[in-house]
Amino acid sequence: MEITKNNIINILIWVFILLFMAFKSMDHTLAIYQDSFDHSFRTLQKKFKSRNDYLNVVLFKPGFKNLEQTALSRLIVKQKNQSNLAKNLLVNLEISDYLEAYDEKLLFNGKESQRLDKFDTSLDGYLISYNAKAVAFNKKLNEFPYNFYGYVRSFVGGWPYNHVHELSIDMNKGLIVER
């Protein structure tokens, strides 16, 4: 069989089509991971906002405030003034840790404590979901074809995907996995 110029051109066209489809497939996969992570992050931020709005109502009632309540209200103001999303998440986690550490000293009544416990329980689930998606997205960005695609794409037109912030939480908290 004789290889002609036409055969070589056809082979090159097919190689180009296969590379294009592979790159589009990787781009689509990363876009789905990014959308999933973004949705999880937005949901987590909404839950933090509803908890912080409730804390605003509780903390800014007229009356005597102890030192712990004043510090908590300062943390909430700090969170509202934070425009960086990653730092905002860290401040929200700081508020959660503060609520856990000073639960007894914050002088909340029974209803308020129950409601804050419900917020805390639901936030734990959303934090686990957020962290699992963040870890999966970062792992996908570090895998072989995707990191190579990132190098190629950064030379051509820019890389739109960045590593996301992972949390250092216990991933086994409240999870039951059956195989």
pLDDT along the chain (179 residues), means of 10: 91 96 94 95 94 90 82 91 88 91 83 90 90 93 91 83 80 51
**What pLDDT is recorded for position 138?**
94
**What pLDDT is recorded for position 6?**
94
Instruction: Write b or e for each residue in 94-123: b if 16 or more Cβ atoms lie within 10 A of its Cβ, otherwise e.
Output: ebbebbeebeeebebeeebeeebeebeeeb
Say which residues have a Cβ less than 8 Å from residue 147's Cβ, sequence separation at least 6: 141
pTM: 0.81
Rg (CA), the chain: 24
- Report how far apart the first and last C-alpha atoms of the chain are (Å, whole number): 54
**What pLDDT is recorded for position 157?**
79
**What pLDDT is recorded for position 179?**
53
